[in-house]
Amino acid sequence: MSKERARRRAERLAVLEREKAARARKVVRRDRRRSLVRKLTPQRRSSGRLYRRSRAQRAGIVVIPLLAAALVWFLVPDLALRLVFIVLIVLVLPALVVVVLGRRS
């Protein structure tokens, strides 16, 4: 009878050891996968900017001057005057962005 109990206990312990080893392998695999994902995803690093513009604001900053340049290109007949207006748009753009969208801190 005691030999039978010892054999059953040995079988239970062997099963528990196999399950424990399987769990350990699963944990190691999960940790390795998480560290790989952490390495591959870009980190948000502070670049010294206190305020980030929304996606719509950034799109507006790009699209509106392009539309203005297109209008200048199609409505102004003289090439030199077109170039002057486009350079003016590019130079005035930062000031307009600050005036219209404001500077938040």
Task: Read off the pTM.
Answer: 0.49
Is 93's pLDDT higher than 80?
Answer: yes
Q: Which long-range contacts (CB under 8 A, 24 or more apart) does 30-36 make?
A: none
- The helices-and-strands tally (H runs, E runs) of the chain is 3, 0
Task: List Cβ neighbours of 93 (8 Å cut-off, separation of 6 or more).
Answer: 61, 65
DSSP 23-47: HHHHHHHHHHHHHHHHHHSPP----
Mean pLDDT to the nearest integer, 1-21: 92
Q: How far apart, in whole angstroms, are the C-alpha atoms of residue 79 and residue 8?
A: 95
Q: Could you report how far apart the first and last alpha carbons of the chain are, in Å?
A: 80
In this structure, which amino acid lies at residue 68? Answer: A
The per-residue pLDDT for range 63-87, each reduced to its tens digit, is: 999 999 999 999 999 999 999 999 9
Mean pLDDT to the nearest integer, 2-22: 92
Q: Cβ(32)–Cβ(40) under 8 Å? A: no
The per-residue pLDDT for range 15-63, each reduced to its tens digit, is: 999 999 999 999 999 999 999 998 888 876 666 665 678 888 888 999 9
Q: How far apart, in whole angstroms, are the C-alpha atoms of residue 105 and residue 102?
A: 10
